[in-house]
Amino acid sequence: MRKTYPLFLLIALALLASGYIFGGASIALGINLPCLLIVLGLSSAMSLSVSPAREIASYFREACRSEDEADRKLLKKAEIFFRSLRFYFFLSGGIGTITGIIILLSMLNSNETIGLGMAIALITLYYGMVFSLILAIPFETAARKKLVETEPG
């Protein structure tokens, strides 16, 4: 993982925020606690079901280490974990989308709740994609790159 990752993370988040601003909306529209709980809660629960928290922390550390300190076995585990995390984010976003559609369809007779269901449907999918893009994919890529660079021969 390059040391400039936090800078590029901030740039990516600023670009996401600018989409709201230039669209004439408030950034607060993109913040929804129930949707965050669905995506982060499901993804965290599934991650912790296969790896203890201490091991997960070691995957993040290993992806951030320099190549000369890399442990190939741990890097391979980290690569598998981050690939799985990427899928967990996407699937939890999809589950949130289906949940939002169920809410929307169950309350079609109430105009006030249609927006709530549609918001849950879209924002959870959005969160799943964003967390995959800014968290899982960069760390998975860093682990893969270090695996290739530390290959014997």
Percent of the chain predicted with pLDDT > 70: 99
Sign of CA dihedral 53, 56, 60, 65: positive
Query: Residue 147 and residue 150: Cα distance in Å, rounded?
Result: 5
pLDDT at 17: 92
Contacts of 60 (CB under 8 A, 6+ apart): 78, 139
User: What would the pLDDT profile of 4-35 be if each residue is shown by its tens digit?
Assistant: 999 999 999 999 999 999 999 888 888 999 99
Where are the chain's structural domains? 32-149
Question: How far, rounded to the nearest angstrom, does the alpha carbon of residue 86 sit from its chain's CA centroid?
Answer: 6
User: pTM to 2 decimals?
Assistant: 0.89
Helix axes 72-106, 137-149, angle to 10 degrees: 160
Q: Which amino acid is it at 152? A: P
